Amino acid sequence: MTEITPGVVGDYKLEVAAYTDGVEPSAWTAVRGMTEFTPGQIEKNQEDDSSFDSDGWASVFSTGLSWKAEGTVKLPRASLTPDAGQEILRAAGSNYAEDGFVHVRISDKTAPTKAVTGIADVTFTKNGGPRTDLQTAAFALAGRGALEDVTITP
């Protein structure tokens, strides 16, 4: 029997690009300083389609799919250069409609040629905390359409 070797959350790489309608990005910018990350999770919209004739058993029917990814980043001190990937997220998180979107690419560092890409609406919120904590921000990427499997050429 083969023993399972678990992966670690640090195996994920998140890259972003400013949103351009209908144009795939030619360059990606890594988001650095992540301390937590949940990669794109598929969520189902499920509706109850049971009736009085179902003998008490519920029945659900999926009517749509969505995805969401989220994480936390450490923010650099004011005197340091901001992280370019974080800045793309922060700028989109401060806007709405198309100006609030980013292109997203998520890959696993253990399989660097495989990834998923999509377009997401961004929220980016600075976290508070005790005076001795490092500054962090939480981000959420709400999918706009499907996550698509892609092959990355090194």
Residue 141 lies in a domain: yes
- Give the model's pLDDT for residue 13: 94
Residue 56 lies in a domain: no
Residue 53 lies in a domain: no
Output the domain CATH number for residue 129.
2.30.110
Listed in sequence order, the residues at least 6 apart from 127 whose beta carbon sits closer than 8 Å to its beta carbon are 72, 135, 136, 137, 138
**CA 49/CA 29 separation, integer angstroms:** 44
Res. 9 pLDDT band, cuts 50 70 90: low
- Give the model's pLDDT for residue 44: 94
Listed in sequence order, the residues at least 6 apart from 105 whose beta carbon sits closer than 8 Å to its beta carbon are 14, 15, 16, 17, 28, 115, 116, 117, 150, 152
Token representation of residue 52: 């009085």
Residue 145 lies in a domain: yes
Number of domains in the chain: 1
Res. 6 pLDDT band, cuts 50 70 90: low
Q: Is 100 helix (H, G, I), strand (E, B) or coil?
A: helix
* pLDDT tens-digit map of 91-106: 999 999 999 999 999 9
- Identity of the residue numbered 148: E
Q: What is the mean pLDDT of residues 7-36?
A: 90
Residue 70 lies in a domain: yes
pTM assigned to the model: 0.86
- Give the model's pLDDT for residue 67: 96
Residue 7 lies in a domain: no
Q: What is the DSSP letter of 93?
A: H
For the cut 80, the answer to whether the pLDDT of residue 7 exceeds it is: no
Length of the chain: 154
Q: Which domain holds residue 29?
A: 14-43+66-151
Res. 77 pLDDT band, cuts 50 70 90: confident
Residue 58 lies in a domain: no
Backbone angles phi, psi at 90, to 5 degrees: -60, -45
Residue 38 lies in a domain: yes
